Structure 1
Amino acid sequence: MKAKDLSALTKGQRTTHRILDAAEVQFAAAGYSATSLRDIAAAADIQQPGLYKHFSSKEELYQRVCERALSPLVDFMDELLERPVDQMVYRELTDRMTDLLAQHPHVPRLLIRATLSQEAEQDAIAMGWVNKLADYGRRINTKARIETDSDVLTLQIVALFNLIFGFFWSSALVENLSGKAADDAGLRAIQKDLLAAFVDSLRH
């Protein structure tokens, strides 16, 4: 949330956002299991008991981190699916996804980390979001009447997942190779063009 938006919130609401911001970074860096509420409290500059005024548990906090970043994506895909086929603008979808994820650039790492987790350490919350987003990909494909073999569609979804989320997940590599910050507006514009070109190629 932008500073000007935060200024309109109460002190308690600003603290909630600060905790969510800190939790997003901590969970992305170490994963759900290895991150403690003590770690998050320290990063948010708050006493650990103070966290419980805003969140009842680590699980609830983790769910809120994911929901804050990913619910807007789902809301937009719901809106897209309600449109007539000839008004489903895929460039609008990929641009919106890029801009929304840019507001929470650590969350893609949570999702990618979840897909790489061993079964014994499975991150059910993040994997739930991965599966939900994949299902939206299938539904959009069906609505657009794109006839695709199920195996091909699976690999297309995986490729798109990697292209969208990998841009944020590999931000350190992006910065190392380009010499620019990963949130550079020019790089994000190029990312949007690449996504649009890839999605367009799937439709032809």
Structure 2
Amino acid sequence: MMTFPTCPSCHLMESPAETSSTADRILDVAENLFAAKGYKAASLIELAEQVGIRPPSLYNHFRNKESLYKAVLERLLGHFQPLIAEAATFSPHDKNAVLAWTRQMVELHFRHPNFARLLQHAALAEAPGTTEMLTRFFRPLFAPSAGGGVTLSPPLLPWATMAFHNVLVSYITMAPLYRNLINQDPFSAEARQRHLEMVLEMVNSALTRPESPFASAA
């Protein structure tokens, strides 16, 4: 891991507000850089250049590359956590609540597409903190009470949750490859609406289908 000597005097050159602003700029650039290149390939030198600071100044805000990456993950996860917590509050068999929640989750992924991109890179190459983040993201959804009106048996809930999330993540990360196939920008307003409609139809079908013959299997 690349390191630089620290610069003890740098804090004297920025007010607390400026320091906070610089840290936010670092997080913004780091999020885009990690999402584009992954943890290992992202360069702290390139990051500092894009922020407009000297590389050693990064250490006035983040201890090292790993702590910066974890801060990026934490900030992204913070956007999703309130909605994840809400899943546990659904009344049994409240289909409307599940569909409304699904709509919000799809829209949230579109507002923060780097979350999906970071997950894709982490799946291909190990990155620090990702396993812990996924545990915090998925664990609340694995509880039977979070299933709402879904008719799956508890042993299948983790697989249903992962399958649902894979649909959302793969659209963000893979849809650009199909741009020519669908002859449309997959992130245009129309394409995003079609994706939302497809996901809602998929979830609605799962909510209204008869009990799975495999539900009691396990």
Pairwise TM-score range, normalised by the shorter structure: 0.7 to 0.9
Alignment coverage as a number of residue pairs = 191
Pairs within 5 Å for 1:53-132: 53-85=60-92, 86=94, 89-117=97-125, 122-132=126-136
Distance in 1 (CA, whole Å) between partners of 2:144 and 2:206 is: 12
What is the 5 A alignment of 1:146-165? 146-149=150-153, 152-165=156-169
**SS of the residue aligned with 1:89?**
helix
State the AA in 1 paired with 2:111: Q
Give SS of 1:55's match: coil
Alpha-carbon separation, structure 1, partners of 2:144 and 2:193: 24
- Under a length normalisation based on structure 2, what TM-score does the superposition of the two structures give? 0.72
Which of 131, 139, 143 is the matching residue for 1:139? Answer: 143
Aligned-residue offset at 1:165: 0.7
The one-letter code sitting in structure 2 at the alignment partner of 1:113 is H
Q: Supply the distance in 2 between the matched residues of 1:176 and 1:69 (Cα, whole angstroms).
A: 30
In the superposition, the TM-score normalised over structure 1's length comes to 0.77
Distance 1:80 1:93, change over 3 A: same
Select the structure of larger CA radius of gyration. Answer: 2
The match for 2:176 is 172
Asked if the contact 2:150/2:207 (under 8 Å) is kept, the reply is: yes
Listed one character per residue, the Cα deviations across residues 168-198 of structure 1 (whole Å, up to 9, x for unaligned) are 1124224343444443222221121111122
Aligned to 2:195, which of 191, 194, 200? 191
- The question of 1:47 aligning with 2:61 is answered no
Partner of 2:41: 34
Query: Matches of 2:106 and 2:71 in 1, distance apart?
Result: 20
Unaligned runs of 5+ in 2: 1-16, 209-218
Q: C-alpha root-mean-square deviation of aligned residues, in Å? A: 2.7
**Would the aligned equivalents of 2:70 and 2:128 in 1 still touch at CA under 8 Å?**
no
Looking at structure 2, the residues matched to 140 and 75 of structure 1 have their Cα atoms a distance apart, in angstroms, of 18
Q: Does structure 1 retain, via aligned residues, the 8 Å contact 2:27–2:68? A: yes
In 2, the alpha carbon distance for the partners of 1:79 and 1:154 equals 17
Q: Distance in 2 between matches of 1:95 and 1:78?
A: 15
- Deviations 1:98-147, CA, capped at 9 Å, x for gaps: 22222331221211222333xxxx33412222233332332266552644
